[in-house]
Chains A and B, each alone.
Chain A
Amino acid sequence: MVNKALLLGFLSVLILTSAVYGDITHQLPPEIRTLYRTLMQSENHDAKRAAAASLREIYEETRSEDVIDVIIDLMRFTYNHNNFSEQNQRMFYDDMIAMRLIEILEISKDPRVFPTLIRVVARRNHTQRTIDAAWKAIKAIDWSKENK
């Protein structure tokens, strides 16, 4: 009886989580989707670093808003370790990727990225170098693009 209730509870949490967080992959162009999945799922740091570099190239060429959406999503769910420690190798490498993603946000100057950046500077679960990159990106925001 209790097991059934627990199972039902677990399933409803899963359903709620997917409803809240959603899945942005189905809306993405194939090349961005591949990079997004690499950055989200790959265990290989070099692959992730290459994916971040490709994402930057795509953004510099196309100024695609999809790139920004993908980075906002990644920064929120994948590159946001609550118990961040520089001693943890995986977290440390992830932080290097996070910094590269933030540099793309800086190029965008898009006010939509502000909530993502403020989370980085306030929660301080990144290296100081990444936090400084986030402040640099905040300073670069072009507020004339803000929806009044």
Chain B
Amino acid sequence: MKVKGVMSVVWVMVFAISSISFANQIDPKATKFVPDDLVLRGGLKTLHDQYYASKSHQEQTIIVEMITKNTEPLRFDVLMDIVMFDLRGADRYGQSEFTSPVARLTALKEVAKTGNDKYAPAYLSIVKFDGSVQIRIEASRALGKFKNDDVVNMIINLVRFDLNHPNFREDNEKMFNDNRVLEALVQSMGEIGNPRFFPALLQIVSKRNHREETIQAAWRAMEKLEW
């Protein structure tokens, strides 16, 4: 009798877990579901509220795509809020199940197009703390548009300390992922072209505790420095 009770509890749990994972499966074409001719001249508040009310990753992805088709200037702040939400809500490993990674990536790409430097500190936080490698890489690329000293200093710190592993090993997942992010950041350093990046880039090519792709990217970035 007791075994039966335990079994039914187990089945309920299995069903609940499978329902959650089913709800969070994203059709890769989800962003294509939104009609091309959709233009939203309003509705930002409703879209924002519905995004946070929704537990379906697919729904979140479509809502973000709809926000990108909104015409209100505030849409970029709403999108950035969506990108940053998971960062704040993530555990110490940067993982969170609440928001869709695809939705966040779509939001970040849209905000990055603006080139507005008010979002630079957010990009730096993402590179440093976010759980999703893809989102960190996208934020690293977005930083290539900013030439001000604060951003340059922060990038140097990231390269020299946060993303630098003296005992780098490709079979270590964290180190490998950090290095992919570093490669994107190094490409942005080349685009910014500030000569103050030289020591950090030299460190990458000389210590060779990086992937070959990252070392090659550092050489190319050095060529682009504006002396």
Q: Which residues of A contact B (CB under 8 A)?
A: 1-2, 5-6, 111, 114-115, 118-119, 121-124, 135, 138-139, 141, 143-144, 146-148
**Stretch with Cβ within 8 A of A (4 or more), from B52-60, B115-123, B179-187, B195-203:** B52-60
With A2-B1, A2-B2 known as contacts, the answer to whether A118 contacts B43 (CB < 8 A) is: no
Number of A-B pairs whose CB atoms are under 8 Å? 54
Residues of A within 8 A of B5 (CB): 2, 5-6
Q: Can you give 25 A-B contacts (C-beta < 8 A)?
A: A2-B1, A2-B4, A2-B5, A5-B5, A6-B8, A111-B43, A114-B43, A115-B53, A121-B33, A122-B33, A122-B58, A122-B59, A122-B61, A123-B58, A123-B59, A124-B27, A124-B33, A135-B38, A139-B35, A143-B40, A143-B41, A143-B42, A143-B43, A146-B43, A148-B45
Knowing that A114-B43, A114-B50 are A-B contacts, what are 17 other residue pairs whose CB atoms are under 8 Å apart, sorted by A's residue number? A1-B1, A2-B2, A2-B4, A2-B5, A5-B5, A114-B46, A118-B59, A118-B63, A121-B33, A122-B56, A123-B59, A135-B38, A141-B43, A144-B42, A146-B42, A146-B46, A147-B45
Chain B residue nearest in CB terms to A145: B42
What is the CB-to-nearest-CB distance from B145 to chain A, in angstroms, rounded to a whole number? Answer: 32
Residues of A within 8 A of B2 (CB): 2
Where chain B touches its partner, the secondary structure class is helix
Residues of B within 8 A of A119 (CB): 59
Total count of chain B residues near the partner, CB < 8 A: 26
Chain B residue nearest in CB terms to A119: B59
Q: Which residues of B contact A (CB under 8 A)?
A: 1-2, 4-5, 8, 27, 30, 33, 35, 38, 40-43, 45-47, 50, 53-54, 56, 58-59, 61-63
Pairwise interchain contact A146-B33, C-beta atoms closer than 8 A: no
Pairwise interchain contact A118-B50, C-beta atoms closer than 8 A: yes
Pairwise interchain contact A135-B35, C-beta atoms closer than 8 A: yes
Residues of B within 8 A of A118 (CB): 50, 54, 59, 62-63
Closest 9 CB pairs of A and B: A143-B42, A122-B59, A143-B43, A2-B5, A122-B58, A122-B62, A2-B1, A114-B46, A111-B46
